[in-house]
A and B are shown apart, each in its own frame.
Chain A
Amino acid sequence: EDQVTQSPEALRLQEGESSSLNCSYTVSGLRGLFWYRQDPGKGPEFLFTLYSAGEEKEKERLKATLTKKESFLHITAPKPEDSATYLCAVITNAGKSTFGDGTTLTVKP
């Protein structure tokens, strides 16, 4: 069974304090891994797609990396507006997608 596990469940940071969110996965035939940002009461917003180990993507203060077993979302010098729940999802070669439970990030000013 395909599994996606995100850690930690919740993360509190001070503004400017860099950290990383983890997404570990066990799937049969990974086609791609996706990161989304979700604000309270809203739908998720797409951030990144990663397809192969070693690949990296960046957007403003966010950088996503991928290995054969996990992905990291690195947040550099976060700001309060980065506070949100970050969701990781995988899609297999068979076209089946699985979401993790998310990491809720709170950045205090």
Chain B
Amino acid sequence: DGGITQSPKYLFRKEGQNVTLSCEQNLNHDAMYWYRQDPGQGLRLIYYSQIVNDFQKGDIAEGYSVSREKKESFPLTVTSAQKNPTAFYLCASSIERDSGELFFGEGSRLTVL
């Protein structure tokens, strides 16, 4: 089955630690995205990538970093510089950047202790 796989589903982190969230897709989509969702709020774009080895900042990129070394993979690192990292993180992909129709993974819930 084609889809997007995020791991881990739950992650706990101590303050001051960096953590990396994994996102893998087998849909052969060019574009990939990371969103953050806080309770009762919509999705906010962290980073997106239209093609391998290229990525762009979204609306809330501070304290996050990404890489796109392979078409299938788009990991997100939440760094210690992110002041309020506890949130639900969603990875998505689309056929191309401007297609609008997004396919989402199941999400990763990060809790900072």
Contact = CB atoms under 8 A, between A and B. Distances in A.
Interface of A: 4, 9, 31-32, 34, 36, 41-46, 49, 87, 89, 91, 95, 97-102
B100 A31 contact: yes
Interface of B: 4, 6, 40-45, 90, 92, 97-98, 100-107, 109
Question: Per DSSP, are chain A's interface residues mostly helix, strand or loop, or mixed?
Answer: strand
Contacts of B100: 31-32, 34, 49, 89, 91, 97
Contacts of A98: 42
B97 A87 contact: no
Given A87-B43, A97-B45, A100-B42, A43 B98 contact: no
Contacts of B106: 42-43
Given A31-B98, A95-B97, A95-B98, A46 B103 contact: yes
Instruction: Name the 9 nearest CB pairs between A and B, nearest first.
Output: A43-B104, A99-B42, A91-B100, A95-B98, A99-B43, A101-B42, A32-B100, A44-B104, A43-B107
Contacts of A101: 40-42
Contact of B107 (A42, A45, A99): A42
A34 B109 CA distance: 25
B76 to A, nearest CB: 14
Contacts of A34: 100-102
Given A87-B42, A99-B42, A44 B98 contact: no
B107 A41 contact: yes
A109 B40 CA distance: 24
